[in-house]
Structure 1
Amino acid sequence: MQAAGLLLTWVLLRPASTQQCHPSSPGSILRFTDTHAEIRVPALHRVPSSLDPLYSLVRHYLDLIQQNPLPTELLRAALNDPSSVQTSQVVQYELGYIICAAVSLLFTVTVPVAGLCFCYCRSQQRCGGRLRAHRRSLGCRRRCLLICLSITSLIILTSAICALVTNQRVKEQMEPGLGAVPDTLRTLRQHIANVPQGVQMVVDQFEVPRQQIISDLAGVSRSVGLSIHAQLKAMTYAALADLKDRAGDLQTSLHHLQILDKTVRVLTAARAELEPVLREQRQRVVALLDDPRCTSCASILGRAQSLELGADYSKVPSVEKVLKTLAGLPRSDFAEMIRQGNGTFNSIPELAVERMAQVIQELREEMTKMSEKVQSIADGFPLPDYTWHVSEALLKAENRSQPFLREVERFEWYRWIMGMALCSIILLITACNVVGMALGTYGLSKREDPSDYECRGEAGAKFLMVGVGLGFLFSWLLILLVFATFLVGGNIQTLVCRNWVNQEIYKFIDTPGNLPPSMNLTRQLNLRRDSNLSTTYRECKSGAGLWEVLQLEKSYNLDEHLKTPKYTANFQKRLGDFTTHLGDVRLLRSEGRQDLETFARSGVDEVDYGRFQEEMKIPVVQTSLPGLARSLEGLQKMQRNGTVAGRLATEAQALWQMQNSTVQTQEALVVKLGESIRFLSQLAPHLQERVKTTLATTASVEAQLPLQAQQILRQEIGCFTRKELRYFAQYLHWVGHTLREDVASCQPLATALDNGRVILCDRIADPWNAFWFSLGCCTFFLIPNIIFAIRLTKHFRPIRNRLISTGSEETCPFHIPRVTALKL
């Protein structure tokens, strides 16, 4: 019992602050409808291709051709005062391209002139034609020429295929790439124009946390009441149970005391009545047993002489004083008192609903006001007044770009047709080489005599000469197309793409004075005065909002507009100021307390219950009446004297009657007395402590219950407030993220710039440069191809003269006919 009291005291003294808020359930995470910008600028990326090694090789080649950095001074002069541009500056920067132009010009002039000279020489039969003599080394030379021509043909074929593929890829990428420019500009304008609608859609999503909070408000009061009841019920129920036990002790103790007093009185009176009867019975039995006629009666004479009374309850302590003190108790109805206390405590949840109804209604009204405050995010959003500069600049760029793009598309069509035609000619030259080598080699294998004419060998030689003729005829067109595309594509790569990747172009644009006033992008796009294109690009790339990069007359700080206290201050204050009393429970009224105090000082614990127990150990009669009666009955059977035998039977019957009528009744009273003594003796040592503990516990619970209930109320309201503030924080965080990352993000501007680089450099310039590089490889390998084809042609035609000797074959100026031996 003492341990239970200590446990209850610990429960009472435990601070409510140690209680923790309930963990957030999955439902506490709000789910917002996806609200994205209706107009998007999809990000483009470089697509891995099997031609990437070729693209990389071309870029390294162009880096060798053009090693100069971005010509800042030259570009500044060209943009601000084109007439001041000096030729020497252009030559110095384009020196690598000029050298390539000189090589191309030399090739353009030299190869056709060489072709004309070769044609003239062939017409005079001074070059080409047939070999004049057969030597042993001709087979080795022929094989070397075949291998060299095969290698050059394979290189030309591979380069031609690459040229065809890249030429087609340029065409495939050019049309969507050019179309993406106005589409992207138009998309940017639409994105900016749709920002207000997007912001309003984001603000309208406040309905999600508002409905969730209103739903939580509907159940918060009962939840608070149930939490108070759940956390305090152990303490309250323990106090009520303890009080019920003390009331039971009072009732039971009073009952047993009354039984004790009454039983002692009855036993005392019964002893007084039994004493003369027992003395008279003893005298008769002793006289009978002492009669000489009684046979064998001396054996039980001693037992009969000791027949006398035992326990004397007149000697036990009196409990009349205790009963007098407890007279009239209990004056209060403990059962009704406990029922009322239990009912009052169990009504706390309903009481909480009633007491919190007013503040719940005020919080609902506050949610309506909060919706109006959140609407101010959309109403105060500054973009519509400051984005018209950007929209105007984008519209102007869109209108100016379309004619230029149409011209580029038209010239690209011509380039593609010329590229396909020249690639077809190169494939035709390669086909002539392959057919010529195949026919010539086959003809040589079928010819027995080198001087014999073989039509297939001659046809192979002619195919080779057709390829040579086509090479001489179209080489100048090939080199012109190569140089034109090389000059355009190379400068795009080295002047634009290379400096676009390392952002040197942005630095050039940002440097004051580099661009003319009409091309001031900071002013045209209405960017911040302390900003530039590089800074704006980086900010937009990292997810800044449009309002953060524009030149606003008044600073607009979204973070200030999205601070939770700005919207939740009143909501939080109303909950913080709310207070009420929910734990006023009366467990023990004053009359009940007086009853228990009277019970404690009544002296129940001062009675010597040990004296009762000692007296109860003494039997009512010292000698067992049933035993003595059975002994007399046994002696009766042994008597020869009928008179003695009859008297023995009579005395035995009298003893049985005394036992059954008087002694057994007293023994039953002694048993009943023992039950009361046992209860009271067990209660007495702890009575003072139990009553004292019960009174102290009850008083402590009555005092602590309101305080504990108030602490739990504050804690539950605090947990509820934090939970609802998390809803606000989730929403405002989502608003900031959505506005910055999607609806009002300036990231599409950075994405558009990146897309422009991907389209121009990765998807158009790379295959464009790979095209002229592959076509140039074909063109320059035509020179060794022509040489090897001309040299190989002689080996496919019959040799003019042949000399046979026993030692070796030598060249002779005349032909010795073949002699055939005849058999006789």
Structure 2
Amino acid sequence: MLCRTIGILIVCVVYLCEAADPVLTPQTLNDSVQNTADSNSNIVWSDIPKGQTYNTDATYDDGGMGPLFDFARNFINTVFSGGFPYDFIVDVKDGNFEITRDYMQVLSLFGGYAAAIVIGFLFIIIFTIVGCCFCCCRCCGNCGGKMLQKSSPSAGCRRKVYSVILLVLVVFTGVGCICIYVSNDRMTTAIDKFDVTVGNNLDDVDLFLNNTVTQVKHLLENDLNFTFDVLFRDLDNVDVLVGIPVRDQFDQSAGINSIFTQVGNLQTDVNTVISNFDTVDNDLTNLKSNFTSFKTELDNWILDYESTRSGCTTSQTAGVCATFVDGNNLSPPFDPNNIDISSAKTEIDNVRSQDMSSLVQTAKDEFNGIPERVKNDSATAIQDMKTTVNNYKGEITPIINTIENFQTDASGSLNIEDIKKTVTEYSDLAKPYDKYRWYGGVGLTSIVLLVVLLEFLGLAFGVCGSSSDTLPTERSCLSNAGGNMLMAAVGFIFIFSWLLMFLTTLTFIIGAPVEKFLCEPLSEPELETIQKLIDNFGLLGNGNESFLGKTLLNDPNVDLKIGTVLKDCGEGKTAYTAFKLKYMSGFNLSIIQNYKSQLDIDNKLNGFSVDFSTIEVAPASLKDNMQNFKDSITNMNFSSYTEELNKNVTGDDLTAFITALTAAINAASTSDFKTNMTTHRDDLITIRDGSFANTVASKNTLSSSMSSLETSVGGIPAKIDTLLASLNTTQEFLNTNGSTVLTNVLRDFVLRVFTITDALVNRAISGLENDVAKCTPVYNLYQSVVVIGFCKYVIDAFNGFWFCIGWCIFFFVPSTIFSVKLAKHFRRMKQLDMYDATLPTKNGDQWASGSKPPMGDRYALPSNKVGHSDKF
């Protein structure tokens, strides 16, 4: 028994496994670069590799000197107020310029520049002459050269005001001195790091080419292969993605599984009817058996009873004999043989032998096998599709080869190591000469610093060493030293100012036009001015051709401008966008964008052909079995069966008959007749309690089972008619609408395939336009070398250098005046200027104690004869 159970379980497991629908295999796809696709073929792309990190960061640090450089730049823009003289250059080039006619144009463009130069040279001449005259005047005792100071009540206030003003001038001059040194040092720093900056940028260009190839390969090779892996997975699972939806649409439109369920439920009803019928059949057989026994016993009893009753008149009175009821009244009106179910039994046995469940399962299995049928019938078309896709992959390869060749050609034409070596050689050649320039700058800084220190120390010594209570002739050595330092500073200003101004003017002559006419156009975001010069003057090719288009794309008609390229690269755009690689021969992305026409997926998938007309969801054997069952239950006449079963088993009530017989026996006289009748009564009681009771019980059981059978049969014929009509309609639907349903499902499948390939196209286009090969290194190369390296570090520092010297010279002029004036208040005077009406009395060689020299007529007193006064 155990082995049989295990065998049945194994069969059931195998059956269930075979009946299970196919599933998408694999459910999730992923590749080595972490691209993933779920069961709905929604692709999640991995990040495009960023490649190696670039060395250069094209950011500029002005070292806190930005305001100074802005001042110098604003000054240059002031003297060149006309902006870049593009129209002037064009006129000169075209021969449309005449100095006698267009001198005002020249004046508006270069008038400020020329005026600044003239002012510089005039300063050299005039300031030198003024210095010589001042020195001669001082040597002659004029211009404050006498060591005599006029006394004045406001002398202390003047000294303080002069000190504050000079201190402010010293501070501003000191700031200028510091800026001179920093500017001088920044030029050296720029030259020292120039070769390193160029080398890093060139290395970044090489890295840019390598990263570009890596990223394009990732995009057009790894992602392409993964996309086709997803596509092949879906094509291999056409039974799941097409077959199951087709079957489900059949079921949704025709309710096939519902019909199968109803037929399965009908089988349950059939089993119930058969079970009830078997019960009725068994009960009827049992009833007939019991009834035959009962009828035989009753017939024999009636025969014996009537024989005894017929002799009653010979032994009893006529009145007593009349009390004995006729036994023939007990003869059964009921006959179970009138209940005939033999024909129905034959038909039900036929239904039982055919097993409707297996017929339904066969039809269901054939319907559920639609996915497998779709897969088998589309195998050739799927293989053709795969072949086409593999051939299409070969058309993408040239794009990758184009990028690799571009890298090779660029690396060949741009020998980075040789360029770096050349730059290093020139840089090493320039550094020794720059050292002497740096020494010269430090020397100029030292001159200014000497003046600043003399003025600052003179101011500090004078302020600390002087007092309003001290007479000018009795000032301390510290105060006198401060005054001498201020005069020494004035002397150095007169000695070196012409040299400083000469160098300022000379460097201004060079630096200002370089900033205005070279660095300013080169620093424009879109290089519009430079581009106009290139286009108009044919600096790079002729005006009708694009130099970059011809050089990079082999197409001079592509409008590829240097300024636009640098602007796009500076904004972090990709090489595909910035360099307009869509025009490059061999880099034609239309192959990817027009994949639908290349692959012809729509026509190939619509060429699928599956014959659904051979699928039988309503086999003839199933319909015949259902019809036979219907006929079998229809032929059963339950009304006649019920009518027969409602009849009494005996004519008269058997118990009442026994009671009447007992009363009659009791009325009879004692005799053999009474004894015989008593025996008959007892025999009848035995029959009643035996075969009669069994017959009644069997009859009641049959009535109950017959009622159950009638109940279970009710409504089944109509249900069978409905199911037969549904099966016929479903079969007709499969035969006539199968191709339409397949077409609708294939449309969704084609959309799914297009979604997969569209994901690749969008990924490729978006990646090339936004992510792959961002040409920032190209912009960094230009910015680092030209804009930052040359203009920002060198030219800005160069212009800051002369601007700071000019700044210091500007403050030298007022500081000269106030140094001379303040020196009179710090130096020790030889004579004292005083006014009094009368000569003051003297106490010995000094004024009287507590007295003050009266103010009146002027007296020039020797320094050893001057009395003390709180006013000085």
Query: TM (normalized to structure 2)?
Result: 0.71
Determine the structure 1 residue equivalent to 2:178. Answer: 161
Tell me: CA distance 1:483–1:581, structure 2 relative to 1, closer, same or farther (3 Å).
farther
Give distance in 1, aligned partners of 2:655 and 2:135: 166
136-145 vs 197-206, which moves further: 197-206
Which residue identity does 2:591 align to in structure 1? H
Give distance in 1, aligned partners of 2:772 and 2:432: 38
User: Which of 470, 473, 480 pairs up with 2:492?
Assistant: 470
Give distance in 2, aligned partners of 1:546 and 1:429: 59
Deviation at 1:50, TM superposition (A): 4.3
Deviation at 1:460, TM superposition (A): 1.4
Determine the structure 1 residue equivalent to 2:15. Answer: none
Partners of 1:308 and 1:622 within 8 A in 2: yes
Give distance in 2, aligned partners of 1:154 and 1:471: 16
Structure 1 residues 736-766: Cα deviation after superposition (integer angstroms, max 9, x where no partner): 5566668788886666555534544445444
Deviation at 1:94, TM superposition (A): 1.7
Which residue identity does 1:114 align to in structure 2? V
User: Which of 154, 157, 166 pairs up with 1:140?
Assistant: 157
Deviation at 1:429, TM superposition (A): 2.4
Partners of 1:366 and 1:571 within 8 A in 2: no
Tell me whether 1:66 sits opposite 2:80 in the alignment. Answer: yes
User: Which of 329, 344, 356 pairs up with 1:334?
Assistant: 356
Which residue identity does 2:111 align to in structure 1? L
Determine the structure 2 residue equivalent to 1:673. Answer: 703
Deviation at 1:72, TM superposition (A): 2.6
User: Which of 111, 128, 147 pairs up with 1:95?
Assistant: 111
Structure 1 residues 671-709: Cα deviation after superposition (integer angstroms, max 9, x where no partner): 34323323423532x223210222123334444457787
Which residue identity does 2:155 align to in structure 1? L
Deviation at 1:577, TM superposition (A): 1.8
User: Which of 787, 792, 817 pairs up with 2:865?
Assistant: 817
270-279 vs 474-483, which moves further: 270-279
Determine the structure 2 residue equivalent to 1:578. Answer: 608
Which residue identity does 1:688 align to in structure 2? P
Partners of 1:508 and 1:514 within 8 A in 2: no
Deviation at 1:455, TM superposition (A): 1.2
Deviation at 1:111, TM superposition (A): 2.7
RCO comparison, higher one (Cα < 8 Å, 6+): 1
Give distance in 2, aligned partners of 1:668 and 1:485: 138
Tell me: CA distance 1:615–1:113, structure 2 relative to 1, closer, same or farther (3 Å).
farther
Tell me: CA distance 1:448–1:674, structure 2 relative to 1, closer, same or farther (3 Å).
same
User: Which of 365, 371, 394 pairs up with 2:393?
Assistant: 371
Deviation at 1:154, TM superposition (A): 1.4
Give distance in 2, aligned partners of 1:145 and 1:315: 153
Give the match's secondary structure for 2:390: helix
Partners of 1:443 and 1:454 within 8 A in 2: yes
Q: How is 1:12-161 mapped onto 2 (pairs within 5 angstroms)?
A: 28-29=42-43, 31=45, 34=48, 44-46=58-60, 50-76=64-90, 92-126=108-142, 127-128=144-145, 130-161=147-178
Deviation at 1:783, TM superposition (A): 1.0
Give distance in 2, aligned partners of 1:576 and 1:140: 107
User: Which of 223, 227, 230 pairs up with 1:209?
Assistant: 227
Q: How many residues align?
A: 772
Determine the structure 1 residue equivalent to 2:826. Answer: 796
Tell me: CA distance 1:457–1:631, structure 2 relative to 1, closer, same or farther (3 Å).
farther
Q: How is 1:282-293 mapped onto 2 (pairs within 5 angstroms)?
A: none
Partners of 2:351 and 2:625 within 8 A in 1: yes
Structure 1 residues 465-502: Cα deviation after superposition (integer angstroms, max 9, x where no partner): 23223322322233233333333332233223444427
780-789 vs 92-101, which moves further: 92-101
Q: How is 1:192-341 mapped onto 2 (pairs within 5 angstroms)?
A: 204-205=221-222, 206-221=224-239, 224-225=242-243, 235-250=255-270, 252-253=272-273, 256-257=276-277, 260=280, 263=283, 269=291, 328-329=350-351, 332-341=354-363
Partners of 1:468 and 1:790 within 8 A in 2: yes
Tell me: CA distance 1:41–1:573, structure 2 relative to 1, closer, same or farther (3 Å).
farther
Deviation at 1:578, TM superposition (A): 2.6
Deviation at 1:163, TM superposition (A): 3.5
Which residue identity does 1:443 align to in structure 2? G
Partners of 1:261 and 1:318 within 8 A in 2: no
User: Which of 465, 476, 491 pairs up with 2:513?
Assistant: 491
Give distance in 1, aligned partners of 2:629 and 2:202: 97
Give the match's secondary structure for 1:812: strand
Deviation at 1:792, TM superposition (A): 0.9
333-342 vs 529-538, which moves further: 529-538
Determine the structure 2 residue equivalent to 1:12. Answer: none
Q: How is 1:418-567 mapped onto 2 (pairs within 5 angstroms)?
A: 418-445=440-467, 448-500=470-522, 501=524, 503-506=527-530, 508-509=532-533, 511-513=535-537, 522-523=546-547, 526=551, 528-529=556-557, 531=559, 533=561, 537=565, 545=576, 558-565=588-595
Tell me: CA distance 1:320–1:460, structure 2 relative to 1, closer, same or farther (3 Å).
same
Give distance in 1, aligned partners of 2:679 and 2:815: 163
Partners of 1:373 and 1:567 within 8 A in 2: no
Determine the structure 1 residue equivalent to 2:719. Answer: 690
Tell me: CA distance 1:819–1:629, structure 2 relative to 1, closer, same or farther (3 Å).
farther
Deviation at 1:786, TM superposition (A): 1.6
Give distance in 1, aligned partners of 2:661 and 2:440: 155
Which residue identity does 2:704 align to in structure 1? G
Tell me: CA distance 1:582–1:418, structure 2 relative to 1, closer, same or farther (3 Å).
farther
Give distance in 2, aligned partners of 1:585 and 1:247: 22
Query: Unaligned regions of 5+ residues in structure 1, if any?
Result: 1-20, 284-300, 634-640
Give the match's secondary structure for 1:68: coil
Deviation at 1:40, TM superposition (A): 7.6
Give distance in 2, aligned partners of 1:765 and 1:626: 142
Structure 1 residues 531-581: Cα deviation after superposition (integer angstroms, max 9, x where no partner): 3747864896565649976998x9778243332326742555433323234
Deviation at 1:47, TM superposition (A): 5.2
133-142 vs 390-399, which moves further: 390-399
Give distance in 2, aligned partners of 1:332 and 1:550: 75
Deviation at 1:69, TM superposition (A): 3.1
Give the match's secondary structure for 2:472: coil
Partners of 1:74 and 1:85 within 8 A in 2: no
